[in-house]
Amino acid sequence: MAEPVASSHDLTGLYGLTDDLVRAAHDAIKVRDRAGLRALVAPLHAADLADLVQALSGHDREFLEDYLGGEWDPEVFVHLDEAVRDDLIEELGPAALARMVTGLESDDALELIEELDGADRQALLDRVPDGDRALYEAALGYPEDSAGRLMRREFAAVPAGWNVGQTIDYLRSDAQLPDAFYGLFVIGPDHHPLGVVMSSTLLRRQRIVPVVDIMDAAIKPIPAVTDQEEVAFLFRQYALVEAPVVDESGRLVGVITVDDVVDVIDEEHEEDILKLGGVQSDDLYEAVAETTRLRGSWLLANLATAIMASAVIGFFQAEIEKVVALAVLMPIVASMGGNAGTQTLTVAVRALAMKELTASNAARILGKEALVGGINGMVFAVLVGLVAYVWFSSLEIGLVIGAAMIINMIVASLAGLLIPLGLDRAGVDPALGSSVILTTVTDVVGFFCFLGLAVLILF
């Protein structure tokens, strides 16, 4: 039945987990009220129950996990964050895990199996039914994050010679078909996909009409080895709802629907945003030790950068001792360069991910960025020059910081574009290393220009 409907811009309270429910679960657990906990947990959608497991901490979570122990809904498992799930997989052991996997649809099951390492994976595969094992092993034969891993292997297809009536009779007779499907593929004698017929179209046509007459031939077959980011691009570019997946000889082997692609798009975006922020993976549910280690390696790279910038300052110790205003003002030049560079970098990384930054427009955008950096550099040179002049009553210091600002902001804008472009061309993820290289450039150039110009003009 349809749920009651609130009139609100926000769906809180209508769908999803609420803070009130988390508190109620916490209270029920505190007094070991199993019946109360059941009443709270039973009506929850698997995705919301997974959120509840994650929202609870320490003993609360252990109690809930223990309580669910006998009756873990495999669907809940699929919705858990990887860090939380990995902990549970270790506790469960291969036999319980195999039961879980058998209760899942093939693509969800594959997602769990993929996460297991060599021996654990084999132990699990040994425990699932033969038919399922063959299917999983075939899927695991495709590269990680490829269309072959992403696709559903169950699909409906009919030969090109059939008409609507034959097709409907076949659909009624074959119990092996997936429960629900959108399109029905029409295949040639070599098993190549020729087009797709919507089931709604089949419903509305006479039995005698050949399927080739009502099929949509504008399909976009995807080779099974294609990387999932390319698959996401294809769905986004052409607003696809589903696409056939073909093997190296062009035979239809599976189908990808847009709802599978939503997860890929989310993953992609998460990677980009986290890497730009210097975080290697979503560590919200990761343990303290692991989080500290992962973030520490990034901070170490930044320490090297910061020491390099300090070394530049070190060259100018004698001058700073004489004019201490230099020490006061120098972070402004470095910081403004860093910010201007980050703006360009962010736009560039995003444009690369969306395939909007290519060899054919790179030169034009480089020119534009240099211009934007130069204009803003001049505007802020005047501003900061005035501030410095008023603060230290020195026209020379105002001129020095203004000139350094213009240079550093142009350099920053160019670096913000060239660094991700260079990394991308070198086959490195531009989101990953870009910002630490950029900061090195803007700090070193910022300090060197400012202090170097000061030496030329003030001394």
Residue 93 beta carbon to its own copies: minimum distance, rounded to whole angstroms: 28
DSSP 16: S
Stretch that binds its own copies, among 87-95, 122-130, 319-327, 418-426 (CB under 8 A): 319-327
Shorter beta-carbon distance to its own copies: residue 11 or 35: 11
At 266, is the secondary structure helix, strand, or coil?
helix
Residue 161 beta carbon to its own copies: minimum distance, rounded to whole angstroms: 16
Q: At what angle do helices 395-425 and 325-353 cross, to 10 degrees?
A: 30
Tokens of 166: 């034959």
| C-alpha span between 403 and 297 (Å, rounded) | 36
Burial string for 173-201 (b: 16+ CB within 10 Å, else e) reads eeeebeeebebbbbbbeeebbbbbbbbeb
Candidates 31, 35, 57, 66: give the one binding its own copies (CB under 8 A). Answer: 57
83 binds its own copies (CB under 8 A): no
30 binds its own copies (CB under 8 A): no
Residue 123 beta carbon to its own copies: minimum distance, rounded to whole angstroms: 29
Contact status, residue 195 vs residue 145, Cβ threshold 8 Å: no
Residue closest to 235 by CA, chosen among 296, 151, 317: 151
CA Rg, the chain, in Å? Answer: 30
Residue 168 beta carbon to its own copies: minimum distance, rounded to whole angstroms: 6
Stretch that binds its own copies, among 90-98, 112-120, 129-137, 227-235 (CB under 8 A): 227-235
Stretch that binds its own copies, among 87-95, 118-126, 201-209, 420-428 (CB under 8 A): 201-209
- The site that binds its own copies (CB under 8 A) totals a number of residues, namely 154
Residue 6 beta carbon to its own copies: minimum distance, rounded to whole angstroms: 7
Residue 439 beta carbon to its own copies: minimum distance, rounded to whole angstroms: 8
Candidates 257, 381, 404, 437: give the one binding its own copies (CB under 8 A). Answer: 257
**β-strand pairing of 157-159 with 242-246:** unpaired
Tokens of 270: 């998460």
273 binds its own copies (CB under 8 A): yes
Residue 60 beta carbon to its own copies: minimum distance, rounded to whole angstroms: 10
Shorter beta-carbon distance to its own copies: residue 23 or 34: 23
Residue showing tokens 């019946």: 35
Tokens of 244: 């056939």
Stretch that binds its own copies, among 32-40, 42-50, 63-71, 130-138 (CB under 8 A): 42-50
Query: Which H or E element spans position 220?
Result: none
Q: Please give the angle made by the CA atoms of 241, 242 and 243, to the nearest 5 degrees.
A: 140
Residue 98 beta carbon to its own copies: minimum distance, rounded to whole angstroms: 24
Which CB contacts under 8 angstroms, 24+ apart, belong to 392-397? 392/325, 392/329, 394/325, 396/457, 396/458, 397/323, 397/325, 397/326, 397/329, 397/454, 397/458
Candidates 89, 98, 101, 261: give the one binding its own copies (CB under 8 A). Answer: 261
Contact status, residue 396 vs residue 446, Cβ threshold 8 Å: no
278 binds its own copies (CB under 8 A): yes
| Cα atoms in the Cβ-side hemisphere of radius 13 Å centred on 397 | 20
What's at 25, amino acid-wise?
A: A
Please list every residue from 327 through 386 that binds its own copies, using CB under 8 A.
Answer: 327-332, 334-336, 339-340, 342-343, 345-347, 349-351, 355-361, 364-365, 368, 371-372, 375-376, 379-380, 383-384
Candidates 201, 209, 414, 455: give the one binding its own copies (CB under 8 A). Answer: 201
| C-alpha span between 63 and 66 (Å, rounded) | 5
**β-strand pairing of 193-198 with 183-187:** antiparallel
Please list every residue from 419 through 458 that binds its own copies, using CB under 8 A.
Answer: 439, 443, 447
Residue 41 beta carbon to its own copies: minimum distance, rounded to whole angstroms: 15
Stretch that binds its own copies, among 32-40, 111-119, 191-199, 422-430 (CB under 8 A): 191-199
| C-alpha span between 74 and 108 (Å, rounded) | 9
Candidates 114, 154, 283, 429: give the one binding its own copies (CB under 8 A). Answer: 283
Residue 139 beta carbon to its own copies: minimum distance, rounded to whole angstroms: 17
241 binds its own copies (CB under 8 A): yes
Please list every residue from 122 through 151 that binds its own copies, using CB under 8 A.
Answer: 143, 146
